[in-house]
Amino acid sequence: MVDPIKRDEFWHLDPPLLAGLILLCGLSLLILYSAGGEDLSLLFRQGVRVVIGFAVLFALAQVPPETLSRWSPHIFGIGLGLLALVLLVGIVGKGAQRWLNLGLFRFQPAEVMKLGVPMMVAWLLTRQTLPPGWRDVLIALVIVVAPVLLVVLQPDLGTAVLIAVSGLIAIFLAGLRWRYMLLALAALAAAGPFTWSMLHEYQQSRIVTLFDPWSDPLGAGYHTIQSIIAVGSGGVYGKGWLNGSQSQLEFIPERGTDFVFAVFGEEFGLIGAVLLISLYIFVTGRGIYISFYARDTFSRLVAGSLALTFFFYLFVNVGMVSGILPVVGIPLPLVSYGGTSMVTLMAGFGILMSIHTHKKFMPK
Amino acid sequence: MDELTLKDYLRETSIIQSRLMFAAVIGVILVVVLVLRLFYLQVDQHQHYATLSQDNRIRLVPIPPVRGQIYDRNGVILAENLPVYTLEVTPDRVGNIDILLQQVGQLVELSEKDLERFNETLRARPGFEAQTLKAGLTDDEVGRFAVNQHRFDGIELRARLQRHYPLGAELVHVVGYVGRISEADLGRIDRAAYRGTDYIGKLGIEDRYEEILLGKVGYEQVETNAHGRVVRTLARTSPVAGGNVHLNIDTQLQQVARESLGEFEGAVVAVEPRTGAVMAFVSNPVYDPNPFVNGIDTKSYKVLRESPARPLLNRALNGRYAPGSTIKGLFALAALENHRSPEYAVYCPGWFSLKGSRHRYRCWKRTGHGSMNLYNAIVQSCDVYFYQLAHSLGIDKLHEFLTRYGLGRITGIDLEGEPSGLVPSKDWKRRVKGQPWYPGETVITGIGQGYTLVTPLQLATVTATLANRGKRIRPRLVQIIEEPQAKNRQVLPPEMLEKVKFGNDQHYERVIHALTDVVHGQRGTARRVGRGAEYRFAGKTGTAQVIGIAQGARYDEKKIAKRFRDHSLFIAFAPVGDPRIAVAVIAENGGSGSRTAAPIARRVMDYFLTGSVEPLVPPKSKMTEARDGRPDQT
């Protein structure tokens, strides 16, 4: 394997990826200034998170992949324990129990699992030669399903989906046989009705109104309709920064968090939206590239899973805001206002950089 | 690094890399889907969503117009808009409404009705809109609340315009009142025109001239946020104030008339014959319309509704009475029009009988008038003459004649709910009662008894027609409609109800001559009332029976309960040569026309024509008043 990248390591950071992330975080501050009603204290808090995020990124980038691999079972185990704890003593917010109060700050253990699950799956599967046998696949599925169930119980559908997807992508990348996948799809189709009955009423209504948001324009369809109106009214060039009436007059609900893309689409139009998506594609692409040229299988699996999950974030969020996917509460990665998710993502990118910059040709 | 692991590693690498490629292809497809969707929303459907977003933020807020005022003919204000202090609550800005109401209740008296109404609007209207908690705070309450204002977020003291009737009860039967828009009203009005307006005319002029008084609602185009709060005003269309209405009513004349009516229940209507202008329109008793504006409480309303004097009844408009002898002038005219000689004489022995019947129809003068021609029959109000006249003309002719003069038909006054009264005919009786017409019924029709029913307004209108020598003019309360903003002042011209006047002028002069001598002649039934008048007037007394008197029995006022006593009627116009006022007076249970109703009419005419009235004589007890041979009877 020849590494095409020059080894001019700068504290184990990957300059192209870093540039993409800095751009995204900059855009986040820009759009949150508008969405948050020009509230500087809100911007400051987000800025602090960005700084913490980059600090975490920097720290993790220094950790060699083999160490990460060794940590994987521990991270997963601790994460699982915290998830159980949160159900027992967690803080209730917005009808869900997601938070642990750690005195200084509140903490969502589910976030840990966004990294813990793909790492654990990669660690598990790389103990045997790929592609994995059915036994390993079953164990890997248990590793994925256990935390997902705990998160669903909180309930936090969005995060559960993300955790599941990160784990499943890892299994997929590991070379899961196509016929298993077809089997799984068939099983999923069969389990559909059961899953439906497990969903919360607000989640069900969100899915129903996805197909016809106008059937309940002031109730379950309100989020989607106002969001679509915002995006659509933005047109090609947008209404201009701070000029989106849907955003500034508070018609878009959760415009700082899950629906921040609607604000972006309204104020910067199609051109802005496509540029933003391009930036995400760039970051994802860089992640895939890192995975492609990773030095070992564990790193390859973790990097690929993190990069593709990041893209999945984007797709689901933009799909939700533009009304082709149900409202599941997945924020726009790095741009939406919020702490834990930002730190987790940055940690993930830290791992990517570590993988890319610790490049001794050393298969296990 | 043995070969096997290297081989495994290379195989693993190629598996993952091919899977990465596969995922990348899927990713590209998904990106294309997203971009197509964005293109669809932002380019293809842009116009649609741009419109929706515009509709989202722009809202029309109605600005209610100021209701037009009502004046009398001299500019006296009858209905105005006064600023009143209201307490208004914006529910969204209040934490716990129950606690708030309790606290406010300690400063301002909140009646159960206030609370009930507030709770109703609370349910019906959006929480970001201010809602009236109490209207019409007293100065004390305003002071007490203003000092404590800082304690209450979301509750405001505001000055609003509210309808007020400065003369109170005096003109309630003319002006009417406004009230809050009811469910029933909502069904029939154009809701857009009433946006922001809480009141609607319910009665009288307020009701009839609602369209003019209401004005036109204005709008403010405001930008609102998602919570409906106004961010800024974008455009404004000012409301157009309602038109002012000037009545023909002369408030002072109205007051003189009602004062003269005193304790009697009844009505006085004064019309200007030439124009049809209604200058006095009294129905007694009256009641204060002001409590009705914000909804009268059930208890007070019950008192009004159940009062035996029936103050809610507009007697001048809706009261229906037998005209009694006041109708004799018209029948005299009918006789002449039907070619009966004025000198044709009827002998009055004190009673009249139909051929082949032993029933005696008595004349009010039991001893009889002797030989009576038309003139004497009117002046002395001989019943027998008119019994005979009615009998000889027949009911169908009488019906036709009275109908031609507007009886049995609405006058067309500008008030809602006018009844037509009743002029009987053979047809009518067959249709309504399913019975044939009896000749005896024609006989009593001749002296205005029986089925015939007229309203005081009809009597005044007929009197005006007599004064006009046959020209029928529509009676009208409103004289001028004035729209100050449109600089439009419309004086309503007199309106003739029939194109031609009826009858022969000579016949009118003959009848009017006789009617004049009713009050000015030596033997006139109302000669006492004509005494000392500075002008000459024509009049006719009437006494309408309330209960039938048995054959051979005597009417004895003293022995009859007040409510069964005869109604006292009088019609008059003055001056005879150039009539400027026609009056009809009905005093319920007032006894004879000459004694009660005639002096009231005289005072009204005195005031109108000379500007002064004699002070009211403290009314002698009606029970003990000497009857001095009843010269003034019917």
Provide the pLDDT for residue B96: 80
Provide the pLDDT for residue B313: 93
Query: Residues B339-351: pLDDT tens digits?
Result: 999 999 999 999 9
- The answer to whether B35 contacts A274, with C-beta atoms less than 8 Å apart, is yes
Provide the pLDDT for residue B86: 85
Provide the pLDDT for residue A93: 57
Question: Chain B contact for A240, CB < 8 A?
Answer: no
Is residue A224 one of the residues assigned to a domain? no
Average pLDDT rounded to a whole number, residues A281-299: 93
> Residues with Cβ < 8 Å from A236, sequence gap 6 or more?
A269, A270, A271, B42, B43, B46
> Residues with Cβ < 8 Å from B565, sequence gap 6 or more?
B546, B557, B589, B590, B591
CA A357 vs CA A6, A61, B120: distances in Å: 10, 8, 71
| 8 Å CB contact between A225 and A210 | no
* A315 vs B contacts (CB less than 8 Å): 27, 30-31, 34
Mean pLDDT of chain A: 85
Provide the pLDDT for residue A8: 46
Beta pairing class for B70-71 and B244-247: parallel
Average pLDDT rounded to a whole number, residues B278-293: 94
Which of A131, A277, A288 is opposite residue B31, by nearest beta carbon?
A: A277
- The answer to whether B42 contacts A297, with C-beta atoms less than 8 Å apart, is no
| 8 Å CB contact between B29 and A211 | no
Average pLDDT rounded to a whole number, residues A275-289: 95
Q: Give the C-alpha separation, A210 to A328, whole Å.
A: 11
Q: How confident is the model at residue B626 (pLDDT cuts 50, 70, 90)?
A: very low
Q: How far does the CA of residue A264 sit from the closest CA of chain B (Å)? A: 12
- The answer to whether A363 contacts B5, with C-beta atoms less than 8 Å apart, is yes
Provide the pLDDT for residue B124: 65
Provide the pLDDT for residue B205: 95
Q: In chain A, what's the furthest Cα-to-Cα distance?
A: 59
Question: Chain A contact for B15, CB < 8 A?
Answer: yes
Question: What would the 3-class secondary structure string for chain A be?
Answer: CCCCCCCCCECCECHHHHHHHHHHHHHHHHHHHHHCCCCHHHHHHHHHHHHHHHHHHHHHHCCCHHHHHHHHHHHHHHHHHHHHHHHHHCEEECCEEEEEECCCCEECHHHHHHHHHHHHHHHHHCCCCCCCCHHHHHHHHHHHHHHHHHHHHCCCHHHHHHHHHHHHHHHHHCCCCHHHHHHHHHHHHHHHHHHHHHCCHHHHHHHHHHHCHHHCCCCCCHHHHHHHHHHHHHCCCCCCCCCCHHHHCCCCCCCCCCCHHHHHHHHHHHHHHHHHHHHHHHHHHHHHHHHHCCCCHHHHHHHHHHHHHHHHHHHHHHHHHCCCCCCCCCCCCCCCCCHHHHHHHHHHHHHHHHHHHCCCCCCC
Provide the pLDDT for residue A219: 63
* B11 vs A contacts (CB less than 8 Å): 129-130
Provide the pLDDT for residue B302: 92
Average pLDDT rounded to a whole number, residues B252-256: 94
* B19 vs A contacts (CB less than 8 Å): 172-175, 304
* B23 vs A contacts (CB less than 8 Å): 169, 172-173, 288, 304, 308
Query: Residues A57-100: pLDDT tens digits?
Result: 999 999 999 899 999 999 999 999 988 888 887 666 555 566 66
Is residue A108 one of the residues assigned to a domain? yes
Provide the pLDDT for residue B144: 87
Q: How confident is the model at residue A210 (pLDDT cuts 50, 70, 90)?
A: low
pLDDT at A361 over 60: no
Chain B, nearest residue to A306 by Cα:
B20
Q: If we measure between CA atoms, which residue out of A292, A322, A34, A264 comes closest to residue B49?
A: A322
Tell me whether the omega of the peptide bond preceding residue B126 falls within 30 degrees of 0, making it cis: no
Which tokens go with A297?
A: 């299988």
Question: Chain A contact for B41, CB < 8 A?
Answer: yes
Is residue A145 one of the residues assigned to a domain? yes
Provide the pLDDT for residue B463: 96
Q: How confident is the model at residue B380 (pLDDT cuts 50, 70, 90)?
A: very high
| 8 Å CB contact between B516 and B467 | no
Provide the pLDDT for residue A360: 60
| 8 Å CB contact between B286 and B298 | no
Residue type, B540: K
- The answer to whether B226 contacts A249, with C-beta atoms less than 8 Å apart, is yes
Q: How far does the CA of residue A39 sit from the closest CA of chain B (Å)? A: 17
pLDDT at B173 over 90: yes
Question: Chain B contact for A305, CB < 8 A?
Answer: no
Beta pairing class for B244-247 and B567-574: unpaired
| 8 Å CB contact between A160 and A328 | no
Q: If we measure between CA atoms, which residue out of B474, B357, B350 comes closest to residue B418?
A: B474
Provide the pLDDT for residue B541: 93
Q: Give the C-alpha separation, A206 to A212, whole Å.
A: 10
- The answer to whether B12 contacts A129, with C-beta atoms less than 8 Å apart, is yes
Grouping H, G, I as helix, E, B as strand and the rest as coil, residue B615 is coil
Chain A, nearest residue to B229 by Cα:
A249
- Return the percent helix, strand and coil in chain B, to nearest 5: 40, 20, 40
What's the distance, CA A228 to chain centroid?
A: 22
Question: Chain B contact for A288, CB < 8 A?
Answer: yes
Is residue A113 one of the residues assigned to a domain? yes
Provide the pLDDT for residue B594: 85
Query: Residues B585-597: pLDDT tens digits?
Result: 999 998 888 889 9
Which tokens go with B571?
A: 């019609």
- Proportion of chain B above pLDDT 70, given as a percent: 92
Q: How confident is the model at residue B2 (pLDDT cuts 50, 70, 90)?
A: low
Question: Chain B contact for A311, CB < 8 A?
Answer: yes
Question: Chain B contact for A325, CB < 8 A?
Answer: no
Is residue A134 one of the residues assigned to a domain? yes
Q: If we measure between CA atoms, which residue out of A106, A68, A140 comes closest to residue A347?
A: A68
Q: How confident is the model at residue B634 (pLDDT cuts 50, 70, 90)?
A: very low
Which tokens go with B498?
A: 């029939």
Chain B, nearest residue to A253 by Cα:
B226
Query: Residues B544-563: pLDDT tens digits?
Result: 887 655 555 666 666 667 77
Average pLDDT rounded to a whole number, residues A41-50: 90
Under the phi-then-psi rule, with left for phi > 0, alpha for psi from -120 to 50, and beta for the rest, what region is B395? alpha
pLDDT at B447 over 60: yes
State ipTM.
Answer: 0.89
Provide the pLDDT for residue A339: 63
pLDDT at A116 over 50: yes
Place of tokens 């800082």: B150
Domains of chain B: 54-76+167-247 (3.90.1310.10), 84-161 (3.30.1390), 314-565 (3.40.710.10)
pLDDT at B352 over 90: yes
Is residue A122 one of the residues assigned to a domain? yes
pLDDT at B622 over 90: no
- Say which range, A177-191, A214-228, B286-300, B514-528, has the weakest mean pLDDT: A214-228
Provide the pLDDT for residue A211: 67
- The answer to whether B34 contacts A251, with C-beta atoms less than 8 Å apart, is no
Q: How confident is the model at residue A193 (pLDDT cuts 50, 70, 90)?
A: confident
Query: Residues B381-405: pLDDT tens digits?
Result: 999 999 999 999 999 999 999 999 9
Which tokens go with A244?
A: 């989106």
Q: Give the C-alpha separation, B398 to A102, whole Å.
A: 105
Query: Residues A233-256: pLDDT tens digits?
Result: 998 998 888 888 888 777 788 888
Average pLDDT rounded to a whole number, residues B120-147: 78
Provide the pLDDT for residue A340: 74
Is residue A270 one of the residues assigned to a domain? no
Average pLDDT rounded to a whole number, residues B450-476: 94
Q: Calculate the dihedral angle through the C-alpha atoms of B360, B364, B366, B371, rounding to the nearest 10 degrees.
A: -90
Mean pLDDT of chain B: 86
Q: What is the DSSP letter of B310?
A: -
Which of B20, B31, B38 is opposite residue A288, by nearest beta carbon?
A: B20
* B49 vs A contacts (CB less than 8 Å): 228-229, 231-233
Which of B16, B33, B57 is opposite residue A304, by nearest beta carbon?
A: B16
Q: What is the DSSP letter of B476?
A: B
pLDDT at A203 over 80: no
Q: Which H or E element spans position B210?
A: helix B210-214
Is residue A99 one of the residues assigned to a domain? yes
Domains contained in chain A, number: 1
A340 against B596, higher pLDDT? B596
Average pLDDT rounded to a whole number, residues B195-206: 88
Question: Chain B contact for A286, CB < 8 A?
Answer: no
Average pLDDT rounded to a whole number, residues A19-27: 94
Domain that holds residue A138: 71-188
Active site residues of B: 325
Provide the pLDDT for residue B632: 41
* B41 vs A contacts (CB less than 8 Å): 228, 231-232, 265, 322-323
